[in-house]
């Protein structure tokens, strides 16, 4: 396909210097893809470097401590990526003798690797002719051909996969995929697109029609749900507190948290002291709650309003079935927590 021929020359001259582009090691390519999903390069690059330094091989990651991996991941968000990455690494180690499958179809057989990641690994590591379609590719193709099918619809995903295959340069699939992704990241940007320097502008239908920002088309997202979380922070005379690890497969699975009570709306200390869950969760009910910190946290489909309360009283201990452990507060930084809790911890322990 010669339509995108100028792209290859542009890429060689203009590409960013990124470490995962200098290797064909499937482990490091896979690691970069997992980290960079839903993450900007500027944010993800330091995490990639930290992971490579600590876990330079698949074997090292597969044998890592879960809590250590989650702590290293802390701050990136979308924590299920980290837990799924660990599971997949262990599957490859146990069932494939630590060797990555080398084709798209065999990679797809691995639990935890979907079509996008399988295409990226097979293309970048093994130069298999598979089209990689990420958010940047959706944007470039939708503008190039003025495709008005929503990219987040089943029909749209199928259509864009077909278009990506049609334009794929099968002689140099790895370079082609990197090039179109790079164009989307650095030139064909969501806002402030640099059309005047784009090597594909003369072929671009959206540019010809002066409709660049009409694409890509998306079905309307559902409105984020408001959630109100009240964290109960306990600190005893010996500077101990209580935390537990979440094991509910939610967005913060495997991360640690303080006792928490969710309410239907914002509440004050008097209402919270009378809340049924508060009375059920402690061996001795707090006598007072003192506001320490409040924060708003925006997720894709949730807006979280979090309030952190200091529980005051004697012998306030969470009930054992809740799974809490007692730790010294000075060790709290050793545990992986959601960004929301990290803000609070940095607020109360600014010197650490």
Query: Mind telling me the catalytic residues?
Result: 33
| Paired tokens of 251 | 């967005």
Number of residues that make up the chain: 352
Beta strand extents in the chain (DSSP E only): 225-233, 240-245, 256-257, 260-263, 288-298, 302-312, 325-328
Apex 308 CA angle, 306 and 314, nearest 5:
150
Q: Which stretches within 168-244 are classed as H helix?
A: 173-186, 205-208
Residues 82/160/180/115 CA torsion (nearest 10 deg): 30
Taking CA atoms, 285 is separated from 59, 231, 280, 292, in Å, by: 47, 14, 9, 18
| Paired tokens of 232 | 């109960």
CA distance 184 to 248: 36
């Amino acid at each position: 396909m010669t339509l995108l021929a100028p792209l290859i020359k542009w890429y060689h001259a203009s590409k960013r210097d990124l470490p995962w582009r200098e290797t064909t090691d499937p482990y490091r390519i896979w690691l970069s893809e997992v980290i960079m999903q839903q993450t900007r390069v500027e944010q993800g690059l330091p995490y990639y470097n930290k992971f490579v330094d600590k876990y330079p091989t698949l074997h090292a990651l597969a044998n890592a401590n879960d809590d250590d991996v989650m702590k290293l991941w802390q701050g990136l968000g979308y924590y299920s990526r980290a837990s799924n990455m660990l599971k997949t690494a262990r599957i490859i180690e146990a069932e494939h003798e630590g060797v990555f499958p080398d084709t798209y179809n065999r990679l797809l057989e691995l639990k935890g690797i979907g079509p996008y990641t399988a295409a990226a690994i097979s293309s970048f590591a093994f130069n298999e002719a598979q089209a990689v379609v990420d958010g940047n590719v959706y944007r470039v193709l939708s503008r190039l051909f003025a495709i008005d099918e929503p990219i987040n619809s089943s029909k749209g995903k199928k259509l864009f996969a077909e278009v990506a295959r049609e334009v794929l340069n099968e002689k140099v699939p790895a370079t082609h995929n990197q090039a179109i992704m790079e164009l989307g990241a650095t030139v064909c940007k969501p806002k402030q697109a640099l059309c005047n320097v784009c090597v594909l502008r003369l072929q671009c239908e959206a540019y010809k029609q002066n409709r660049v920002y009409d694409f890509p088309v998306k079905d309307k997202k559902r409105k984020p749900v408001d959630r109100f979380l009240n964290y109960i922070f306990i600190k005893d005379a010996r500077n101990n507190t209580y935390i537990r690890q979440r094991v509910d497969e939610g967005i913060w699975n495997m991360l640690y948290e303080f006792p928490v009570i969710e309410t239907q709306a914002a509440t004050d200390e008097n209402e919270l002291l009378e809340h049924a869950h508060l009375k059920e969760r402690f061996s001795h009910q707090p006598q007072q709650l003192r506001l320490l910190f409040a924060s708003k946290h925006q997720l894709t489909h949730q807006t979280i309003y979090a309030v952190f309360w200091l529980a005051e009283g004697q012998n306030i201990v969470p009930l054992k079935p809740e799974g809490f452990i007692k730790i010294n507060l000075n060790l709290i930084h050793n545990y992986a927590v959601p960004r929301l809790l990290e803000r609070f911890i940095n607020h109360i322990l600014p010197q650490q």
